Structure 1
Amino acid sequence: MVNSITIWLSCFCAGAISAVFWRELPSTQSMAVMLASLVVTSSIILFYQNHGSIAGQAVMEVLLCLAINGLFVGVLWVASLGHFYYAWQLPQHKIQQDVTIVGRVISGGCVSDDLLNGQDYHQYTVAIQSVDGQSTREFLNPPFFKALLFAGLKFKVRLSHSHYRAENHGVTSHSFTFRRSDDESLPKKAKASCLHDGDVFTAVAKLKPAYGVANPVGFSRQQYLVSQFIYATGYIKALHIERTFHKHSHRNELADWLSFLSLTHHSWWSALLLGNKTHFTQNDWILLQRTGTGHLFSISGMHLSIVAGVCLLVFVPFIFILVQIFELLRTLRRFASLQVVGFYAYKTQHKGCLFGLKNTGLRVWVLVCVIAVCYLYALLSGMALPVVRALLLLTLGCLLTIFKVAWRSVNIGLAMLALCLLLFPFSVLNASFYLSIGAVICIWFFINTLSIQREPWYFAIIKLQLALTVIMMPLTTIWFGNVSVVSLVANLLALPVITLLLPICLISLLISYYFSTFFVGNFAVEVLKWSDYLFGYLLSLLAFLSDLDLSAFTLFIDTSSALCFLGAIILFCLPYWRFKRLCIVLLSLPLGTSLIQWLPPNDEIWALHVLDAGQASAITVTKGDRAIIIDSGAQFRGIAMTATQHLFPLLENLKVKHVDHVIHTHSDNDHAGGLSTVMAHPIAGNATFYSPTFGCERDTMFDWQGLTISFLWPLKGNDQDNNAMSCVVRIAAQSGSVLIPGDIEKESEYALITKELAGGTSALNADILIAPHHGSKTSSTDIFIKHVAPKAVIYTQGYENRWKFPALNVVERYKQHNVQQYLTSSEGYTLVTFRKGSFEVNTLRGDLKKRWYLKGKPPRHL
């Protein structure tokens, strides 16, 4: 029986987790075959179970059926929800249109109104109930999916806002940001507080399907949105104040109280005690990343376990004393009403019950109280998914203990993992699943294999932290491409401090709030201030470790190689057997082959990398360990996301050591927004910069790594930096050529062709063309396409961009010339590799990383 449970749960988890690697969701035909196999295997299992004893050969058949059954159940569970996700989508006629929505804030709501000063951007996860009066349940297609709807499934969207109009009973609208309702600087009719978790509101918004850029490195927004079951994104244009019902929970009141205390490190306490990380600065995030301590300040299972441990220490003696008092009172009452002989007979008769109350009853009451307190703590922390997941696992463990179910630790772990996959199936697409579940499994694994519990506590902590650091390194490398060298030291220093301060400061915060007028409340405030003072030393120490030159480094390793190396580490910790060393070597080989990338690259190959930068342009050309950057994407709210999160991490992944030339075709934000980021990056320290008014002029040509770089436009003496005078760059070699014309339009195209004809040259010809002006109808004229004669054209444009690039007539024009067309909005990152006499085009969504949760969406206007 135990082996059957282990096999079934293991295969169920394997089947569900395999969804991470599916290129497409299983078709309805394949799902029908799996469903039929489930019926067959279930029938075989039931048949043998009903016949009692099973022969040895039959045992193997049953175990095989159990494995197949569990695997198919896991696959079908995630696949069915995946089909359901894509069936419940925003109608086409609602996309990018002004719609009136009624929704309820699920998460991301303001925690404290006082902290909104200066904050001009906010994001919410909202469960939309209706759009233009139409229930979101009507969005399901086909309709039979409606039968699957229940309270747990909501049409969730991600909404943002900066400035918007507040509409109130036809009164003239006012433009403002979310501010406190008692702010006298705003008109009476325009006052509104920020939206909190649980608030129900009506607003005018623009929505579009959940989507994001697709690049080989960096954060995948689309994958994150799918993992959260978010169906659409958008922004609020106008909020109907009179139909906004605020729900200010105790968490909001505690946040206001915490801000009122004016602690020096308020943002850190807000994250640690209330789970609010919205006030972290960019430097704070860098510090956490470089020291590997981000998990300490993001409320998760570790914090819940600390709270549970403190509850056990407090409740066991407290409840034991209460039980003793209760038994004493009941005994005295019986003694007063019964004769002495009768009392002794009663005591003898109920002796087992008394002891059962003292032992079994005590344990039940303690565990129930622990679950209740942990549930309240989860509410206080905002019910983040890692906390909810840990709470469920804690509840399962406590229930097994209460009902005296004797499971092996392996089965308990598998049941907890299966429960997570059953309740949060898409969490397998999120890093927190692997980091939290992986950490729990690692702790259990090392306690059982290294016998850490037999060591002195201080030595056990060091040994366990060292083991966790080593074994979790492949997982953090897979998800973040970053390795913290000082994480071991930082965690050994910070973990005891956080473990000590968390319960003390949490209790002090609650006492100071609920008993603020009493002495104990004032004492709790002083405890918080002293803790804040001591906490400053910890942050100073972490800052010191973060500032070390070798505190962290970037390391990009293939996922399969990292997983194999993780398996090698686990095998290394297991007891010795005959082929152990051979298995470790074989599992380490993929990592060794991936590290070969550190050797000098093949200089015979050069590549064009067109990043998916949304409605912007970011391109790089690499050969060997050197690169040229041509445009660096846009900048929003002072941050060049494409340059910082995608462009330079890609170059680091490609082992590029030097950026020799940086060309910005013109100064518009969508092309040169990352200029300051590029100039500040170390590998571009010696780069030569070009723009239409500096260095980029016709007849300028130079050799770079065996490639010929030619500037074809603008003319010499140009002093304008605009679309018409965009820098036109041609890169050529014997293996192929590329033309990058920036945002030139038809007038510049005609002038460029005229110059080429007058000079008797054919420098415009290219194998790969970056579409002028992102595919605008004012460019890509027929004569220009004829002179370039490209084999493929790449449009750098964003999904559902307001200009509807590329224009339909432009797409038709290229189609008439038999040019292969690629759109970064639907294909994602596009790689063109040039070898001797040939080139190859690969796209991320098409073949480099084709996944069902990264499905491309073609423009609707085409």
Structure 2
Amino acid sequence: MDTWQLPVSFALLVFVSSYFKLFSNVLAGFILGIFVTNLNYYMFYQISWQNLVIEKPVKIVATVSQFIKSGERPYIQVKIESIDTFQVSVWQTVNANLSVGKHSMPLREGDKIAGIAKLKAFRSRKNFHTFDSELFAFQNHIYFKGKVEIERHDRKERAWQTSYRHYISSVFQKYELSWLYYTLLTGDKTKTPKIDKEHFRMLGLSHLLAISGLHIAIFFSLSFILLKVLLIPVQSFLKQDANIHTFGVLCALISAGLYVTVSGMQISAQRAWLMALIGVVCYLLGTRISFFRLILYALTVIILASPFSLLNMGLYFSFVAVSCILWFVSKQNRAAGEPLKWLDKLVWLIKVQLLIFVFLFPLTIFAFQGVSISGLALNIVVIPLLSCVIFPAILLQSAIFHVFDVSAISLLDTWLFEAYRWLLNLNFHWLDIAPITVRQLFAIMLIIVLLSNPLTRFYSLIPIIATSLHWWLSPKPHWQINIFDVGHGSAVLVEHNGKGFLYDLGASYFGTYSMFKHVVVPYIKANNIELIYTIVSHDDGDHAGGLKDLNFLGYRDTLRAFHREEYSQPCLLKAIELGSLTIQSIWPGQLQGNDNNSSCVVMVSDGEFKLLLPGDIETDIESQIVAQYEAHLNASFLLAPHHGSRTSSSAQFIEQVDAELAIFSRSYNTPWRLPHSDVVRRYHHFGYKTYDTALDGQVQIRIFKQHFEVYTARNAKNLWFLR
């Protein structure tokens, strides 16, 4: 929220409340919301000494909570107890992600360590349509990252939750789908391979990996049924006034609560258990409660306890899905007066799945820029299978494993794994859809809600017409430039009429994580861009690191226009049309003395606005290019050469280009201290406005016929608690 919006909203509510008493409740809720949010932030999230312990050696005492990467030099997450003289308050959680130096004794979760650490405030790259690591870190109380040299290591007995997870892991370790069974019983997704998370997303089954209302309902029902069965032999010995049904409901509620606890107290699980609690209380008191109040009470408790849970998309998925189910059931109960047949139950299940699919459709597009087209059909089969077969089977296996060394689910595991492989081979699951804004999401949800009620269907025309007019009247950019935040390196995508030209691929780390695959490709897919041409300026790792993934992911042909049939450097000097844009490579013609000076220099132009991409050329090459092209070198936008190094960006070059904007593509807080302060002053001296991907995140320039607009990823999600 911008700084002016809060006081203006408050003033408007005060004014309206003075004339309409109804709005006084809204004003009271508004004030309560601000108070609760600020209280929660300053009690549980604010650390006054954070900036006093970074960028210097500090003494640290912490407990190992998680292994992010194992090995000789592991990367771990720790829960900090103290840093130097600063003690963490008992009501706060302060986590840090640390790389560990050589250490003789292997670490395990729960161990207490002490040593010397060098910490940095947690900060990540920021791009449109990619995972927001900083928001994730805030939600999980991760304040620092860095490295630690361990001086003292105390082996501790595993905490009960760690012991439980270790036991469940040992129960299922030999099965093909061990990660799935482990996740279902613990809520811990660290053992789930990334590729399988992606497969479940494409299949529309991601909700199975997050403990939610479905899991709580299954656990509650199984606990209730099991208890009733166990009490059958002793029913004749119980007093006549003993209410076995009530006892079973209470035990099932407690059992479900234990499941929520061991699964990590996930928001979706808390919500489901709260609803179950409210329902059980109302049942015991003989009170009827509408589904709307049930949802409202549970949501109120969660928000009061943790207002920042509103930042978790899972909360919205969870509440929308449960609201659909409760609304549908409430409507059916009024019409149905006799027991349902199996066919009727199947029809109900199909209708509920269809209802959930429709209401979650816009949320899925907003969160994932696409939707699973197979999820609707799969869930009709998978949910009963999970409820009636998989969950009871893995619970049974967990219960008997400690006593009997029996593989009770071997055959089931084989069948499930083969079915999983068969589904993946069908390869028609996911449909990419262009992203939508928060306003568009709200409008679509409002339209769906209005259409669902015959009395309000006519009024759905209002948001439909308003949204259509807004889309129709909003000016569309003629072309667009995206300078991605890829750390130290560069990756620039020019898009025009659904087609794209990519300049550089960013770096690749450890041979497994490339910026091209994890930053550029998600953007291309989210916006349905067809990549036509790719230029790799030169073969330095921070520019060509994604070359392997470019070839592997099917974009190899995009290199041919400028890099020949078989990729080679330097680039060919030529001009190619991309719609109404001209892409012209103007340097080097032949290899120079080093890779930097052999960078492919490219000019992209629509006849009115120009973009100059110079790679890592240095001052002597800048002078040659200025002498060769003179006024033809003038541009509107300039990617600063060599990330703002003082070996580039000469005064002569900056003056000759005479652009309006210069963008530094670099990493935050690196040893090279880029961009150099002299270079920044030089650009400002010649009237440039500068942007910096390390500070601004992805820089997006939208170019219209007579003007351009600049948007940055950090400003797009400018949350006050992350500033």
Q: Scaled by the length of structure 1, what TM-score is found?
A: 0.75
Q: Which of 571, 590, 596 matches 1:723?
A: 596
Question: Against the structure 1 CA distance between its residues 649 and 591, is the aligned structure 2 distance closer, same or farther, given a 3 Å change threshold?
Answer: farther
Question: Against the structure 1 CA distance between its residues 645 and 592, is the aligned structure 2 distance closer, same or farther, given a 3 Å change threshold?
Answer: farther
Q: Which of 403, 415, 435 matches 1:534?
A: 415
Partner in structure 1 of residue 680 of structure 2: 811
Question: Against the structure 1 CA distance between its residues 270 and 122, is the aligned structure 2 distance closer, same or farther, given a 3 Å change threshold?
Answer: farther
1:483–1:555 Cα contact (<8 Å) kept: no
2:123–2:134 Cα contact (<8 Å) kept: yes
1:766–1:790 Cα contact (<8 Å) kept: yes
Q: Aligned-pair distance for 1:400?
A: 4.0
- Letter aligned with residue 552 of structure 1: L
Q: Which of 610, 625, 649 matches 1:780?
A: 649
RMSD: 3.6
SS of 1:688's equivalent? helix
Question: Against the structure 1 CA distance between its residues 195 and 690, is the aligned structure 2 distance closer, same or farther, given a 3 Å change threshold?
Answer: farther
Q: Aligned-pair distance for 1:468?
A: 1.1
2:482 pairs with 1:605: no
SS of 2:407's equivalent? helix
Query: What are the superposed Cα offsets for residues 139-168 of structure 1, whole Å, 9 maximum, x if unpaired?
Result: xxxxxxxxxxxx4432x234154x6322xx
SS of 1:730's equivalent? strand
Partner in structure 2 of residue 99 of structure 1: 58
Question: Against the structure 1 CA distance between its residues 538 and 826, is the aligned structure 2 distance closer, same or farther, given a 3 Å change threshold?
Answer: same
What is the correspondence of 1:511-526 to structure 2 with a 5 Å cutoff?
Answer: 511-515=399-403, 521-522=404-405, 525-526=406-407
Q: Which of 191, 195, 200 matches 2:112?
A: 200
2:257 pairs with 1:257: no
* C-alpha distance in 1 between matches for 2:584 and 2:247: 79
- Letter aligned with residue 107 of structure 2: S
Q: Which of 301, 307, 313 matches 1:431?
A: 313
Q: Which of 459, 474, 485 matches 2:362?
A: 474
Q: Aligned-pair distance for 1:305?
A: 1.4
Partner in structure 2 of residue 554 of structure 1: 433
Q: Which of 384, 387, 393 matches 2:266?
A: 384
SS of 1:238's equivalent? strand
Query: What are the superposed Cα offsets for residues 189-235 of structure 1, whole Å, 9 maximum, x if unpaired?
Result: x1313224xx433344443333332222121112222333x251314
Q: Which of 385, 388, 400 matches 1:497?
A: 385
Q: Which of 824, 833, 838 matches 2:693?
A: 824
Partner in structure 1 of residue 144 of structure 2: 233
* C-alpha distance in 1 between matches for 2:705 and 2:468: 28
1:100–1:203 Cα contact (<8 Å) kept: yes
1:827–1:844 Cα contact (<8 Å) kept: yes
Q: Aligned-pair distance for 1:764?
A: 3.2
Question: Against the structure 1 CA distance between its residues 321 and 71, is the aligned structure 2 distance closer, same or farther, given a 3 Å change threshold?
Answer: farther
Partner in structure 1 of residue 178 of structure 2: 266
* C-alpha distance in 1 between matches for 2:150 and 2:11: 50
1:736–1:837 Cα contact (<8 Å) kept: no
Query: What are the superposed Cα offsets for residues 100-155 of structure 1, whole Å, 9 maximum, x if unpaired?
Result: 3222355x458xxxxx987986553x432211232245xxxxxxxxxxxxx4432x
SS of 1:818's equivalent? coil
- Letter aligned with residue 157 of structure 1: N
* C-alpha distance in 2 between matches for 1:728 and 1:512: 67
Query: What are the superposed Cα offsets for residues 348-393 of structure 1, whole Å, 9 maximum, x if unpaired?
Result: xxxxxx73xx23xx45533432232223323433443433443344
Partner in structure 1 of residue 322 of structure 2: 440
Partner in structure 2 of residue 711 of structure 1: 585
Partner in structure 2 of residue 133 of structure 1: 85
* C-alpha distance in 2 between matches for 1:650 and 1:438: 27
Q: Where in structure 1 are there 5+ consecutive unaligned residues?
A: 1-21, 45-56, 111-115, 138-150, 167-189, 328-353, 516-520, 856-862
Partner in structure 2 of residue 153 of structure 1: 92
Partner in structure 1 of residue 546 of structure 2: 674
1:490–1:542 Cα contact (<8 Å) kept: no
Q: Which of 507, 513, 533 matches 1:634?
A: 507
What is the correspondence of 1:7-86 to structure 2 with a 5 Å cutoff?
Answer: 22-24=1-3, 61=21, 63-82=22-41
Q: Aligned-pair distance for 1:767?
A: 2.3
* C-alpha distance in 2 between matches for 1:117 and 1:385: 28
Q: Scaled by the length of structure 2, what TM-score is found?
A: 0.88
Q: Aligned-pair distance for 1:665?
A: 1.4
Q: Aligned-pair distance for 1:742?
A: 1.6
Structure with bigger gyration radius: 1
Q: Aligned-pair distance for 1:790?
A: 2.6
Partner in structure 2 of residue 191 of structure 1: 105
- Letter aligned with residue 273 of structure 2: L
Question: Against the structure 1 CA distance between its residues 286 and 256, is the aligned structure 2 distance closer, same or farther, given a 3 Å change threshold?
Answer: closer
- Letter aligned with residue 413 of structure 2: D
2:483–2:492 Cα contact (<8 Å) kept: yes
Partner in structure 2 of residue 543 of structure 1: 424
2:584 pairs with 1:740: no
Query: What are the superposed Cα offsets for residues 660-689 of structure 1, whole Å, 9 maximum, x if unpaired?
Result: 221111222322222233334457745536
2:102 pairs with 1:165: yes
* C-alpha distance in 2 between matches for 1:30 and 1:752: 51
Question: Against the structure 1 CA distance between its residues 269 and 808, is the aligned structure 2 distance closer, same or farther, given a 3 Å change threshold?
Answer: same
Q: Aligned-pair distance for 1:485?
A: 0.7
* C-alpha distance in 2 between matches for 1:253 and 1:638: 30
What is the correspondence of 1:363-374 to structure 2 with a 5 Å cutoff?
Answer: 364-374=246-256
* C-alpha distance in 1 between matches for 2:422 and 2:484: 38
Question: Against the structure 1 CA distance between its residues 326 and 370, is the aligned structure 2 distance closer, same or farther, given a 3 Å change threshold?
Answer: same
2:537–2:571 Cα contact (<8 Å) kept: no
Partner in structure 2 of residue 656 of structure 1: 529
2:570 pairs with 1:570: no
Partner in structure 1 of residue 705 of structure 2: 836
Query: What are the superposed Cα offsets for residues 770-795 of structure 1, whole Å, 9 maximum, x if unpaired?
Result: 12221223332333322323322111
Q: Aligned-pair distance for 1:498?
A: 1.4
**Size of the alignment, in residue pairs?**
713
* C-alpha distance in 2 between matches for 1:392 and 1:811: 55
Query: What are the superposed Cα offsets for residues 1-26 of structure 1, whole Å, 9 maximum, x if unpaired?
Result: xxxxxxxxxxxxxxxxxxxxx23597
* C-alpha distance in 1 between matches for 2:206 and 2:72: 23
Partner in structure 1 of residue 621 of structure 2: 751
Partner in structure 1 of residue 128 of structure 2: 216
Question: Against the structure 1 CA distance between its residues 641 and 66, is the aligned structure 2 distance closer, same or farther, given a 3 Å change threshold?
Answer: farther
* C-alpha distance in 2 between matches for 1:369 and 1:491: 29
Q: Aligned-pair distance for 1:75?
A: 3.6
- Letter aligned with residue 23 of structure 1: D
Q: Aligned-pair distance for 1:282?
A: 3.6
2:183–2:189 Cα contact (<8 Å) kept: yes
Q: Where in structure 2 are there 5+ consecutive unaligned residues?
A: none
SS of 1:761's equivalent? helix
2:67–2:74 Cα contact (<8 Å) kept: no
Question: Against the structure 1 CA distance between its residues 227 and 737, is the aligned structure 2 distance closer, same or farther, given a 3 Å change threshold?
Answer: same
Q: Aligned-pair distance for 1:619?
A: 0.7
Query: What are the superposed Cα offsets for residues 226-280 of structure 1, whole Å, 9 maximum, x if unpaired?
Result: 333x2513144333453353525331441352255x1232222222233332233
2:171–2:397 Cα contact (<8 Å) kept: yes
What is the correspondence of 1:677-696 to structure 2 with a 5 Å cutoff?
Answer: 677-681=549-553, 685-686=557-558, 688=560, 690=562, 694=568, 696=570
Using the TM superposition, name which of 200-209 and 805-814 deviates more. 200-209
Q: Which of 174, 196, 203 matches 1:284?
A: 196
2:43–2:92 Cα contact (<8 Å) kept: no
Question: Against the structure 1 CA distance between its residues 453 and 79, is the aligned structure 2 distance closer, same or farther, given a 3 Å change threshold?
Answer: farther
Percent identity of paired positions between Structure 1 and Structure 2: 22
* C-alpha distance in 2 between matches for 1:565 and 1:379: 36
Question: Against the structure 1 CA distance between its residues 785 and 73, is the aligned structure 2 distance closer, same or farther, given a 3 Å change threshold?
Answer: same
